[in-house]
Amino acid sequence: MEEKQAFLKSIRGLIKKGKISEARKQINEKLLGEADVEYRERLLLELFRIEVLLTEYKLAYEEAFNEFKKEVPDITEEEFEKLVLENKLDYINLEGKIFFFKDFLFNFFKLNPDWENRRKKREDESRQILFKHQDEIKKKEGYIPSLKFRIRHSIILKPEVVKEGEKVRIWIPLPRRCELHPSIKIVNFHPTKPYISHESIPQRTAFFELYANKDKTEASIEYEYTVQAFHQNVDSSKIISYDESSDIFIKYTSEEPPHIEFTNNLRKLAEEIVGSERNPYVKAKKIFTWIIKNIRYNLPYEYVLYDNIPEYVLENKKGDCGMQALLFITLCRISGVPARWQSGWYINPKRQSPHDWAQFYVEPYGWLYADPSFGGGMPDERKEFYFGNIDAFRMAANNDISTQFMPPKRYFRSDPVDNQRGEVELNDENLFYNNWNYRMEVVGYEFLY
């Protein structure tokens, strides 16, 4: 086992140095003589990860400079080169050539706010809609019927990746029935009726099996759902102890390797944050506050490239919404507070994006919400709204991580943790995101208050 781990470590070393061809060569040679099925899967995963990495770093030097210039028109080539030399831009050397991370620009401005005054200014109408919504629901308590959405989610394959008549399997995320979504209705689909997994499936999907068309291979589903916001005034003095023999406590204070794992580093951090505190609600609040103060929002690589996401976030003090949610969940569980995952989409009438958040459980209030990435990005007076409460601009398709679809996938998932864009595979392979496009459209919406 030590020899196998040493080999994987050496492969990661080659990749870090940009020696992709050599890494591929050594893995393929190792596969030829490897009989251990589990280790073969691990080696195949490393080959898959290499291909994913190459889709992440796809901007050549000149392309990256031109992208930067769109945001900061007066930047000079000398200034850009200086940022590269100072390692302020995310790039790697691949076989002797520099390539930049596809989201290097977004991350640069997040980490270097002093550059914002040179950037083109943009109005964010979606944020004003969100603030108005928050102010409305803070007047109420409990689950608040807020919006009715009609959504169309489509997946379109690039014509060059499939052959005419080839069988294609497509999974598109759907909202689960939960407290956020008391009403869900499928209203349309194309080109054929999909298999709709049960409303309680942890990662719910519409599954299409169809044949590739030379003109356009596309699957889409249209659905309506009602979404509720949640606002709760919690009195921490009323929190009571858990029944530690209950299903909720046992399940949601347990480890789920590899991304919810009680490592020494995370145990130590949890102890530092929580200290001698015994009140579960206050424990969770201390963890939430630590995250929003110490973790910077940054767009990561695809999740398949990470071995342990919370460890990465702790080491680098940065991460996206899902990474921050996983850190919150793990630290809560270590501290004896049941916590779980929730994800899907943030659907504001003016802006839509994949999004992840968390829930934690306290008696007698039940499941409350925590969205540390939104909390961290809010003005000071609005940060605490996202501890315990949630807005109604949500589509929750997933209530757990890394669970199998129904029907199951045959090959590696493009995202083995989450499911927001969807998944596609052929008879003999998974089709990664660079082989198809997705489109999430708000067909219509209506406020209910």
Kindly report, residue by residue over 167-223, the tens digit of the pLDDT.
Answer: 999 999 999 999 999 999 999 999 999 999 999 899 999 999 999 998 899 999 999
State mean pLDDT over 158-164: 95
Q: Which of 74, 56, 65 is nearest to 20 (CA)?
A: 56
Confidence (pLDDT) at 121: 79
Confidence (pLDDT) at 2: 86
Domain-wise residue ranges, the chain: 1-122, 127-229+399-447, 233-388
382 confidence band (pLDDT: 50, 70, 90): very high
Q: How far apart are CA 111 and CA 389, in angstroms?
A: 28
Under 8 Å CB-to-CB from 416, ≥6 apart: which residues? 303, 304, 402
Using CB atoms within 10 Å of the CB of residue 20, give its burial: 0 to 12 exposed, 13 to 18 middle, 19+ buried: middle
- Say if CB 367 and CB 361 are below 8 A apart: yes
- Strand runs labelled E in 300-401: 318-319, 339-348, 351-362, 366-370, 387-388, 394-398
Question: Would the pLDDT of 123 be above 80?
Answer: no
Q: Roughly what angle, to the nearest 10 degrees, separates helices 2-16 and 20-32?
A: 160
- Say if CB 327 and CB 259 are below 8 A apart: no
Q: The pTM is what?
A: 0.96
76 confidence band (pLDDT: 50, 70, 90): very high
Q: How far apart are CA 114 and CA 91, in angstroms?
A: 21
Confidence (pLDDT) at 15: 93
344 confidence band (pLDDT: 50, 70, 90): very high
DSSP H stretches of helix in 165-320:
247-252, 264-274, 280-294, 309-316
Strands of the sheet with 195-196, listed across from one edge: 195-196, 205-211, 167-173, 423-426, 430-431
Structure tokens at 194: 């999909």
Three-state DSSP state, 99: strand
Confidence (pLDDT) at 99: 97
Q: Which CATH architecture has domain 233-388?
A: Roll (3.10)
Query: What percent of the chain stands above pLDDT 90?
Result: 96
Q: What would the pLDDT profile of 345-381 be if each residue is shown by its tens digit?
A: 999 999 999 999 999 999 999 999 999 999 999 999 9
State mean pLDDT over 387-391: 98
Q: How far apart are CA 294 and CA 391, in angstroms?
A: 23
Confidence (pLDDT) at 124: 84
Q: State how far Cα 81 lies from the chain centre.
A: 32
Tokens 């899902």 correspond to 322
Query: What percent of the chain stands above pLDDT 70?
Result: 100
Question: Would the pLDDT of 108 be above 90?
Answer: yes
Q: What would the pLDDT profile of 283-334 be if each residue is shown by its tens digit?
A: 999 999 999 999 999 999 999 999 999 999 999 999 999 999 999 999 999 9
What is the pLDDT of the chain when averaged over all its residues? 96
Confidence (pLDDT) at 120: 83
- Say if CB 207 and CB 197 are below 8 A apart: yes
Confidence (pLDDT) at 58: 93
Question: Would the pLDDT of 252 be above 90?
Answer: yes
Confidence (pLDDT) at 1: 74
Beta strand 351-362 with 366-370 is antiparallel
Confidence (pLDDT) at 169: 98
Confidence (pLDDT) at 26: 97
Confidence (pLDDT) at 40: 95
Tokens 């014509």 correspond to 159
